[in-house]
Structure 1
Amino acid sequence: MSDAPTTYTGAVKPGGPADVRELGGLTLTKVAVDAQMSNNCYLLRCRSTGEQLLVDAAAEPETLLPLVGENLATVVTTHQHWDHHRALADVVEATGAATLAGEADATAITEATGVPIARTLSHGDTVAVGDCTLEVIALRGHTPGSVALLYRDPEGTPHLWTGDSLFPGGPGRTTTPEDFDSIMSDLQEKVFDKLPDETWFYPGHGNDSTLGAERGSIPEWLARRW
């Protein structure tokens, strides 16, 4: 299997080096930006075509632009919160990348950044990265239009970029009981009930985890309501 080299840990910090992982068809580069918010940004590069997609142009274009170079086709913004799109305008201006975001969050992202969203995403859509395909999973609750991206590695385990909808230790922050019920329903029905324990997921802040490491804590999350 061509899954992760043992050197990849996913533990990155602002101002520190990126971490690189080679998947079956993708090279994943994870970098953290902004010392206060410590957002994760993920650059996905198709190993056969060189086409690239950035998950969340969160901040620090001076960090992101040297990482992506000029061959950036797409930026996916996982949700509308301000800390996940502060570098979007600069990255798009420098690269001409197409902008994608969840349908219910697209207007808010454009209002905050001045960047039009070229394509809105709904549950079940797909996004191409060269010869690779990412599946869109809508996870309502943290924001109305939050999306996750799933890559089913043909030579390894599934990989899931969750934005701020799922972290090691629980779901993303919600502000109403209805939003909590929504995010937990979507996580259970669309993620935990559909994907295996070995699925590796990459959140919008902090370290990575696997669904298997978190699955046993779902009753605790439901009981504590966060």
Structure 2
Amino acid sequence: MTYTGNVSRGSAPAVRELTGLSVTKVSVGTLDNNAYLLRSTTDGTQVLIDAANDTATLLDLIGDAGLAAVITTHQHYDHHGALADVVKATGARSYAGADDAEAIPVVTDPVRDGDTIAVGDRTLEVIHVVGHTPGSIILLYREPDGIAHLFTGDSLFPGGVGGTRGEQNFTSLIDDVEAKVFGRLPDDTWFYPGHGNDSTLGAERPHLAEWRARGW
């Protein structure tokens, strides 16, 4: 089945096969949070992005292959409601942005801009973006000889950056997203947000000035 990234709570997960990684997207919780299970296609190592809710759904998704780590994109509770239970059940390491870590349960590995997190023999790069929360992170995976993929949490969506409180936080977030994401990566970069459908940087780039002008 062709991957579209369109999921809703209770629907079947969407699976996308990349070079080196498979991505399984599922919607959980009353706010339709996206959780992403990444699996190395070389050695089978699994990492979960945002143990948001519905512990049983996530553990069923993980299955018997085990879980090396959970990465939490930011401190808002709807993105880590099942984290403690998933970590307890699997023994996984728990990663989060250093400036959000104190507000997230059971973080074992605070990370900062430019750090890397292994998914078996594959690597995710941490991009720290400030504004939605102080320690929000975006995760970058580059396919070997292929396109880039971003797991953006609530910092970037189709149609705009994530919600912020106050002009200073909005300016910080859109500045970081422009410089660290759009300024570094090409139009074919695919991104997977914390809620809703996926998009590409090419689809969103023409609207950056519009987002900045409207202030959200």
Name the aligned partner's letter for residue 70 of structure 2.
V
Q: Which position in structure 2 is the counterpart of 1:67?
A: 61
Name the aligned partner's letter for residue 48 of structure 1.
T
How far residue 141 of structure 1 moved from its aligned partner, in angstroms, is 0.3
* 1:217 partnered with 2:211: no
1:196-207 aligned at under 5 Å gives the runs: 196-207=186-197
Name the aligned partner's letter for residue 37 of structure 2.
L
Does the residue aligned with 2:84 lie in a helix, a strand or coil? helix
Does the residue aligned with 1:196 lie in a helix, a strand or coil? coil
2:94 is matched with which residue: 66, 82, 99? 99
Name the aligned partner's letter for residue 20 of structure 2.
G
Q: Which position in structure 1 is the counterpart of 2:72?
A: 77
**Partners of 1:97 and 1:69 in 2: CA distance:** 13
Q: Which position in structure 1 is the counterpart of 2:37?
A: 43
1:1-226 aligned at under 5 Å gives the runs: 7-34=2-29, 36-70=30-64, 71-110=66-105, 115=106, 117-226=107-216
Does the residue aligned with 2:146 lie in a helix, a strand or coil? coil
**Partners of 1:83 and 1:223 in 2: CA distance:** 29
Q: Structure 1 length normalisation: TM-score? A: 0.94
Q: What are the Cα deviations for residues 127-160 of structure 1, in whole angstroms up to 9, with x where unaligned?
A: 0000101000001100000000000101421000
Identical counterparts, % of pairs: 60
Count of residues in correspondence between the two structures? 215
Does the residue aligned with 1:92 lie in a helix, a strand or coil? helix
Q: Could you list the runs of 5+ residues in structure 1 that have no partner in the other structure?
A: 1-5
**Partners of 2:121 and 2:133 in 1: CA distance:** 30
Name the aligned partner's letter for residue 13 of structure 1.
S
Off by >4 Å, runs of 4+ in structure 1: none
Does the residue aligned with 1:72 lie in a helix, a strand or coil? coil
Name the aligned partner's letter for residue 78 of structure 2.
D
Q: Which position in structure 2 is the counterpart of 1:3?
A: none
How far residue 171 of structure 1 moved from its aligned partner, in angstroms, is 0.2
**Partners of 1:119 and 1:62 in 2: CA distance:** 24
**Partners of 1:139 and 1:30 in 2: CA distance:** 23
Q: Structure 2 length normalisation: TM-score? A: 0.98
Q: Could you list the runs of 5+ residues in structure 2 that have no partner in the other structure?
A: none
**Partners of 1:164 and 1:108 in 2: CA distance:** 16
Q: What are the Cα deviations for residues 193-224 of structure 1, in whole angstroms up to 9, with x where unaligned?
A: 10000000000000000000000000100000
Does the residue aligned with 2:100 lie in a helix, a strand or coil? helix
How far residue 176 of structure 1 moved from its aligned partner, in angstroms, is 1.1
